Amino acid sequence: MPRELYALIGPSTPALSAQLAKPRLKQKPNFGGTAPRTKWELRTFKNPARKDGLELRHWEKVGADSAADYPFAKYDIQPNSYQYSPEEYTRLLEDKDWTKEETDYLLSVVKEYDSRWYIVHDRYNFPGGHERTLEDLKDRYCSVCRKLIRNRPWAGDDAGKTLLISSYQFDKEREVTRKKYLKSLEDRTPDQMAEEEALYIEVKRLEQSERRFKRDRENLLRTLAGIDSGLPDIVEDDPLPLAILEGSKTKTKKTKGVAEAESPATPAAAPAPTVKKPIKSAAYDAQHCIIRTETLSAAIATKAAHQPAYLRSFKLPAPKAAIAPKVTQALAELGISHTRLVMPTRENALLLDSLIEATTTLVETKRAYDKAEYEIQVLENRLGLREKSQPAEGAEGKIEGGAGMDVNDAQVGKEVEETDGEDGRAQSILSARSGGRSRKHARRSMSISSVDTVSTRANNKRQKRN
């Protein structure tokens, strides 16, 4: 090795032995493993599906069984067809519109084209016969088959027989109408199609806004009447949107009507638990006459603790039932009715409250005064009697007094009942509500039919599009 070369490659001289080893060829790929090569041969074969002896040739694997049936012969399936004797024809199949010859011809054509009715109708050409529609042909064929099955001895069970008969069921009228509809569907002008499209979109839009409306109302009801009120009978995805539209309209009208019957009201209520309004500044509140009350509902979210929103006029302060008539009477003397506030603002409500409280106190004081007066009188009487030293009469007076109190009590109770009846606001609301609901039910059942047609039309349309 020359020195220059050594200087270049240094002591790491490549081993020459590797290069001198005998080159090895890549191993031959072994296609198909050890299995012997498949041999094919050209063979003649007969097709059992043929009635003649035609022999064709194709390639087959050498090992294959040459005596085996032609594999495609099994696809040769003859449709079952019905034949009838002349006697059967006269007994069962007479029809004033069809001759026996034409019926024979019909059956042969149906058999020939394997009940492909469009083709049967296309190729049907009975010399001397008049024009027949596809439905005519199908009707006749099916009725012939049905009659034959029904009147022939049947080997199997009845279920099989009815099943077979039902497979030949054909309702000509319905088919004709269906085709007519189909035709009218196709004969629509572009204008009509556009209109239909527009209507369809409109219905969709209505449905959508209806759903939104329903949701809003639900929220409102929850706000007003508590968390478990709302609309139990309305599911979110109601398939009958129009019925709801009808029903809800009447219902909202009712509730609105009730609200309007009450005096104009400013709601002083807790905000709905579901809707969290952003807390605005005090200035904003003052400007919009909003008075905030502390609500515990945020902290306690249980159903029991939940206090639904209410109208202030619903919860006007009322005197204690026992003395209510007296209070009413006292106020009436002054020309004031405490059951109704023309302007039930917060201040007015408070004033009314204090008025009633004052009246109550007045009435109670009067009562206490009366009682004391009475007692004094009784005691004076007793004193007078004792002075006359007649003890028996005192007992009589006691009895008399008890009876007077009894009468008084009874009178009070009666008056309480009367006031209840008078003020039965809750009752009237309830009845109004139930009335509304029952009417709504009626409406809904009425509108189901109309909605049905709408939705089927929509379905048709969708089919058409497909």
Partner 1 sequence: MVNYGGDEVSALVIDIGASSVRAGYAGDDCPKAIIPTSYGYHPAPPDADVTMSDGAENIDAVNKSKFANIYIGQSGPSIWREGMEVGNPMVEGLIQDFNPIKPLIDHALEKTMRVNSSEHPILVTEPTWNTPANRERMAEIMFEEFNVPAFYIANTGVLNAFAAGKGSALVIDVGQSMASVTPVVDGFVLRKGLSYSPLPKLIHAHARHILISPTPHRRGIELLPHQLIANKTLVDAGAPPKFTIRQDRIAGTTESWRNWAETREIDEWVQSVAGVLDQGWNDAVAAQRTARQYEFPTGYNNYFGLERFQVGEQFFTHSPQLVASNPNLPKTIPQLITEALRACDPELRQVLMGNVVLTGGGTLFSGFADRLTAELTRSFPHTKIHAPGNPVERRYGGWLGGSILASLGTFHQLWISKEEWQEHGKPIVGQRCK
Residues that bind partner 1 (CB under 8 A): 47, 49-50, 52-59, 70-73, 75-76, 112-113, 116, 118-119, 121-123, 134, 179, 182-183, 186, 464-466
Nearer CB in complex with partner 1: 16/42: 42
- How far apart CA 224 and CA 272 sit, in angstroms, is 8
Nearer CB in complex with partner 1: 56/446: 56
- How far apart CA 214 and CA 241 sit, in angstroms, is 10
- Work out how close the CB of 73 gets to partner 1 at its nearest, in angstroms, rounded to a whole number: 8
- Work out how close the CB of 53 gets to partner 1 at its nearest, in angstroms, rounded to a whole number: 6
- Work out how close the CB of 173 gets to partner 1 at its nearest, in angstroms, rounded to a whole number: 16
Nearer CB in complex with partner 1: 135/415: 135
- How far apart CA 188 and CA 192 sit, in angstroms, is 6
Nearer CB in complex with partner 1: 33/53: 53
Task: For residue 343, give the nearest of 416, 270, 414, 289 by alpha carbon.
Answer: 289
Nearer CB in complex with partner 1: 49/165: 49
Nearer CB in complex with partner 1: 56/300: 56
- How far apart CA 46 and CA 57 sit, in angstroms, is 9
- Work out how close the CB of 307 gets to partner 1 at its nearest, in angstroms, rounded to a whole number: 59
Burial annotation 370-389 (CB, 10 A radius, 16+ → b, else e): eeeeeeeeeeeeeeeeeeee
- Work out how close the CB of 99 gets to partner 1 at its nearest, in angstroms, rounded to a whole number: 23
Nearer CB in complex with partner 1: 16/77: 77
Nearer CB in complex with partner 1: 12/125: 125
Nearer CB in complex with partner 1: 48/384: 48
- Work out how close the CB of 112 gets to partner 1 at its nearest, in angstroms, rounded to a whole number: 7
Burial annotation 136-160 (CB, 10 A radius, 16+ → b, else e): bbbbbbbbbbbbbbeeeeeeeeeee
Angle at 238 between CA 258 and CA 245, to 5 degrees: 40
- Work out how close the CB of 144 gets to partner 1 at its nearest, in angstroms, rounded to a whole number: 22
- Work out how close the CB of 166 gets to partner 1 at its nearest, in angstroms, rounded to a whole number: 22
Nearer CB in complex with partner 1: 45/213: 45
- Work out how close the CB of 168 gets to partner 1 at its nearest, in angstroms, rounded to a whole number: 20
- Work out how close the CB of 122 gets to partner 1 at its nearest, in angstroms, rounded to a whole number: 5
- How far apart CA 165 and CA 184 sit, in angstroms, is 32
Task: For residue 222, give the nearest of 297, 299, 313, 314 by alpha carbon.
Answer: 297
Nearer CB in complex with partner 1: 188/441: 188
Q: Is 335 left (phi over 0), alpha (psi -120 to 50) or beta?
A: left
Angle at 37 between CA 31 and CA 39, to 5 degrees: 145
- Work out how close the CB of 133 gets to partner 1 at its nearest, in angstroms, rounded to a whole number: 9
